[in-house]
């Protein structure tokens, strides 16, 4: 089932049933459902973040980061209100962005701050799973059409802005967004296969 055909109302009703049903459990979202939620609320999130950060490009980047954060929860954490969770993650990322802009960290301060943070070394099992997921995402990226792969690498590896990618690839910024969404969808589908095999 493709992410475009995912019925969000069905997801919301499943969440409602799970949250209010006799079992009292909530829904654990698959990667495909997360992609569907993201497609449904992406523009809504961007509009909200533009109001906070005053930049469409920054808002779009933060919404992509929101998606990545939500993917990390996929299959591992139960979600009762997916839309509220998306908004909370996006708003927190926007607040963090604004704080960093207001108080840039100097190198010495950064080192002191890093030394004060407790280490959260993952267990060997989690480390192995993380490496496995990383390999699967890399393989999915390698199999992308060349233009989609180029846009993804320029954005996520080299840090190009949407406008810079659009200029470099001679396409519109909305076309860049579509290519990046396609890349993320393929990554989700690959991770969903792994998640179902576990």
Looking up residue 150, the CATH number of its domain turns out to be: 1.10.10.10
The answer to whether residue 85 is domain-embedded is: yes
Segment 110-119 shows an average pLDDT of: 53
The answer to whether residue 110 is domain-embedded is: no
Number of domains in the chain: 2
Residue pLDDT, tens place only, 154-187? 888 888 898 999 999 999 998 998 998 888 888 7
Dump the DSSP string for 59-101.
Answer: HHHHHHHHHHHHHHHTTTSEES-HHHHHHHHHHHHHHHHHHHH
Residue pLDDT, tens place only, 61-81? 898 888 888 777 765 666 778
Q: Are residues 96 and 170 both part of a single domain?
A: no
Q: Is the pLDDT of residue 4 over 50?
A: no
Segment 124-146 shows an average pLDDT of: 81
What is the span of the domain harbouring residue 128?
A: 123-198
Which of the four pLDDT bands, split at 50, 70 and 90, describes residue 117?
Answer: low
pTM: 0.46
Q: Are residues 100 and 28 both part of a single domain?
A: yes
Least confident range from 80-84, 87-91, 149-153: namely 80-84
Q: What is the pLDDT of residue 175?
A: 92
The answer to whether residue 180 is domain-embedded is: yes
Q: What is the pLDDT of residue 2?
A: 40
Which of the four pLDDT bands, split at 50, 70 and 90, describes residue 142?
Answer: confident
In angstroms, rounded to a whole number, what is the distance separating the alpha carbons of residues 185 and 53? 26
Task: Name residues whose C-beta falls within 8 Å of residue 151's C-beta, 6 or more positions apart in sequence.
Answer: 165, 169, 176, 179, 180, 183
Q: Which residue has the higher pLDDT, 190 or 87?
A: 87
Selection from 27, 38, 36 nearest residue 2 by Cα: 36
Q: Are residues 13 and 80 both part of a single domain?
A: yes
The CATH number of the domain holding residue 69 is 1.10.1740
The answer to whether residue 116 is domain-embedded is: no
Q: Are residues 36 and 131 both part of a single domain?
A: no
Q: Is the pLDDT of residue 153 over 90?
A: no
User: Could you identify the residue written with the tokens 């954490």?
Assistant: 77
Q: What is the pLDDT of residue 172?
A: 93
The answer to whether residue 56 is domain-embedded is: yes
Q: Which residue has the higher pLDDT, 68 or 151?
A: 151
The answer to whether residue 113 is domain-embedded is: no
Q: Which residue has the higher pLDDT, 192 or 39?
A: 39
């Amino acid at each position: 089932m493709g992410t475009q055909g995912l019925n969000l109302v069905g997801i919301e009703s499943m969440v409602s049933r799970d949250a209010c049903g006799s079992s009292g459990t909530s829904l654990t979202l698959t990667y495909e459902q997360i992609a569907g939620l993201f497609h449904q609320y992406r523009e809504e999130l961007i509009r909200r973040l533009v109001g906070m950060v005053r930049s469409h490009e920054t808002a779009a980047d933060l919404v992509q980061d929101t998606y990545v954060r939500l993917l990390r929860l996929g299959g591992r954490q139960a979600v009762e209100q997916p839309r509220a969770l998306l908004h909370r993650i996006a708003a927190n990322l926007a607040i963090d962005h604004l704080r960093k802009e207001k108080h840039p960290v100097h190198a010495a301060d950064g080192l002191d701050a890093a030394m004060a943070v407790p280490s959260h070394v993952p267990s060997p099992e989690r480390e192995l799973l993380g490496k496995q997921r990383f390999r699967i995402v890399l393989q999915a990226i390698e199999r992308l059409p060349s233009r989609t792969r180029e846009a993804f690498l320029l954005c996520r590896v080299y840090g190009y802005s949407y406008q810079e990618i659009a200029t470099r690839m001679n396409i519109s910024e909305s076309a860049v967004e579509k290519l990046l969404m396609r890349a993320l969808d393929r990554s989700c589908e690959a991770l969903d296969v792994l998640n179902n095999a576990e």
